[in-house]
Chains A and B, each alone.
Chain A
């Protein structure tokens, strides 16, 4: 196991066609990407297809990745979120085709993880704790509009209609909430800068 190689190096190797770097990136992020798309689309076969697409696109687009525009994990999750929300919005436009599968909350895969998977998942879980801690510090109403937009793909207008709130209120909550979240996470990042 090699923890010294950071995401930027892996992407750089990806960009020159080093598939071992894709392997490493997959081991590091497949769990969180799969969890994300599964939460958004809720159907396991669809989520598997999306997961595949995310990493193929990362492979194709690594050359255009700009490290100053966000870290690799956020970059991958951004690709994943966009693909999954597109799929979700497509499904909403043809609701009769939704829910052919009843795969909500499937059990975890029973296969035994190898040592590297355990270590990667441990790190992902630690990171999830950080994000959950930050989200828990937001006022509930602000957290709600952010989650409705991010995980459910609703626009501000749709959120306002769903909540029965004025559009301006939703806009304000999203603005305040996201900026506060950024500040909290930046603060946590500094806290975790251990010498």
Chain B
């Protein structure tokens, strides 16, 4: 019979995933009543689990689902007394399905306590990046290697990044080696989004080691014959991440793979060190 906090604490992941048997679940639930530390950890675990949903490939539902939702909330079923929200019915917007563009513009983002898992400013930064790339707006605060006007104009004209980000076939995973046999994939990693017919791509990389000031990372575009041309120079942020908008000399259909190496600041004509992270484009 369990009696120690540690024993219950070890059951929390299974409890959070709703994967315990009934008897264990009841015991953990009883312990949670009296243990703020376990309640706090449970909340963290549940937030992590909530994010697992994003691993499922998104799917666009048919419009009839949304219509059904708004029909239900607009005309609550008399047999379903909970179908209306609990408060302030006067506040219901007259046009229930009105477009929301422009609502609350300029409102300051609310910072809530809790985990920073892909939330808060991170979410806004990614949203801003996506919006900026899609709409051709300036002003995003994610470090892009080349944010010159010509490239922005090209991206805007082609609507390309939006297409890349929404085409599952456009994403190619990049990996490095950590040298840790327990976690073979815990080294540098990332994705590059390409279209064979376009010379613009978006690359996201993570877990890159920091570099001294006289070094930079250099992206190489590898041709079918093994030739390498530079795809640009970059530095990761303080946490080892980088988002890079890449412009190649030729459409990406001309390259079979990409690789990243450490080079002297300013770049090299060809790679001079082993690949840190890379992957094929097929």
* A residues whose Cβ falls under 8 Å from a Cβ of B: 1-6, 8-9, 14-24, 26-27, 30-36, 38-39, 47-48, 51-52, 55-56, 59-60, 62-63, 67-71, 73-75, 77-78, 80-82, 85, 108-109, 111, 113, 115-119, 121-133, 135-137, 139, 146, 149-151, 153-157, 159, 171, 174-175, 177-179, 181-182, 185-195
Q: B237 and A194: CB pair below 8 A?
A: yes
Interface stretch, picked from B15-23, B28-36, B250-258, is B15-23
Q: Roughly how many angstroms separate A122 CA and B114 CA in the complex, as a whole number?
A: 25
The number of inter-chain residue pairs (CB within 8 angstroms) is 361
Q: Does B142 contact A (CB under 8 A)?
A: yes
Closest to A183 in B: B48
In the bound complex, do residue A191 and residue B104 qualify as a contact, i.e. CB atoms below 8 Å apart?
A: no
How far in angstroms is the closest Cβ of chain A from B169? 12
Report Cα–Cα, A175/B7, bound state, in Å: 12
With contacts A3-B127, A20-B100, A195-B141 taken as known, whether A133 is within 8 angstroms of B53 at the C-beta atoms is: no
B27-76 with Cβ < 8 A to chain A: 43-66, 68-70, 72-74
Bound: A49/B214 CA distance, A: 58
Which of chain A's residues have a CB closer than 8 A to the CB of B102? 2
- Do residues B17 and A35 form an inter-chain contact, with CB atoms below 8 A? no
Do the beta carbons of B56 and A151 come within 8 Å of each other? yes
Cβ of B69 and Cβ of A52 under 8 Å apart? yes
A interface footprint on B113-151 (CB within 8 Å = 1, 0 otherwise): 111111111111111111101110000011100000000
Please determine whether B50 and A71 come into contact, CB atoms closer than 8 angstroms.
yes
Per CB-CB distance, the 8 closest pairs between chain A and chain B, nearest first, are: A74-B50, A77-B53, A191-B239, A192-B122, A31-B58, A178-B13, A189-B116, A122-B165
- Measured between alpha carbons, how far is A131 from B173 in the docked complex, in Å? 13
With contacts A35-B59, A127-B118 taken as known, whether A194 is within 8 angstroms of B125 at the C-beta atoms is yes
5 contacts across the A-B interface (CB closer than 8 A): A4-B107, A4-B109, A22-B73, A71-B50, A150-B49
Please tell me if the beta carbons of B166 and A131 are within 8 angstroms of each other in the complex: no
Chain B residue at minimum C-beta to C-beta distance from A110: B60
When the two chains form their complex, are residues B189 and A136 in contact, meaning their CB atoms are under 8 A apart? yes
Judge whether A131 and B73 touch: CB under 8 Å: no
Chain B residue at minimum C-beta to C-beta distance from A130 = B118
Q: Could you say which of B47, B63, B87 contacts A16, with CB atoms under 8 Å apart?
A: B87
Would A9 and B104 count as touching, CB distance under 8 A? yes
- Is there contact, CB below 8 Å, between B48 and A182? yes
Contact of B130 among A109, A119, A157, A195 (CB under 8 A): A119
Question: Is the pair A18, B66 in contact by a Cβ cutoff of 8 Å?
Answer: no
* Contact A73–B93 (Cβ < 8 Å): no
A192 adjacent to B125 (CB under 8 Å): yes
The reply to whether A192 and B126 form a contact with Cβ atoms under 8 Å apart is: yes
In the complex where A6-B123, A190-B239, A192-B126 touch, is A20 in contact with B93 (Cβ < 8 A)? yes
Contact between A17 and B91, CB atoms less than 8 A apart: yes
Within 8 A of A (CB), among B94-111: 95-110
18 new A-B pairs (CB below 8 Å) besides A47-B61, A60-B86, A85-B18?
A1-B101, A2-B105, A17-B84, A17-B89, A19-B92, A67-B114, A73-B50, A108-B60, A119-B134, A126-B204, A131-B54, A131-B55, A150-B17, A155-B21, A171-B11, A191-B240, A193-B125, A195-B141
Cβ B57 vs Cβ A35 within 8 A? yes
- Do the beta carbons of A122 and B100 come within 8 Å of each other? no
B249 at the interface (CB under 8 A from A): no
B282 at the interface (CB under 8 A from A): no
Distance, CA A123 to CA B54, complexed state (A)? 11
Asked if B110 and A8 sit within 8 Å, CB to CB, the answer is yes
Which of these, B114, B131, B171, contacts A68 with CB under 8 Å?
B114
Which residue of the partner chain B has the closest CB to A157?
B21
CB nearest neighbor in B for A155: B19
- Most chain-B CB neighbours within 10 Å: which of A63, A109, A126? A126
CA distance A185 to B50 in the complex (A): 12
- With a CB–CB cut-off of 8 A, which chain A residues contact B166? 113, 118, 121-122, 125
B229: interface (CB < 8 Å): no
A157 to B204, CA, bound (A): 39
Which one of B45, B98, B131, B186 lies within 8 Å of A182 (CB-CB)? B45
Q: Give the nearest-CB partner of A3 in chain B.
A: B127
Shortest beta-carbon distance from A169 to chain B in Å? 13
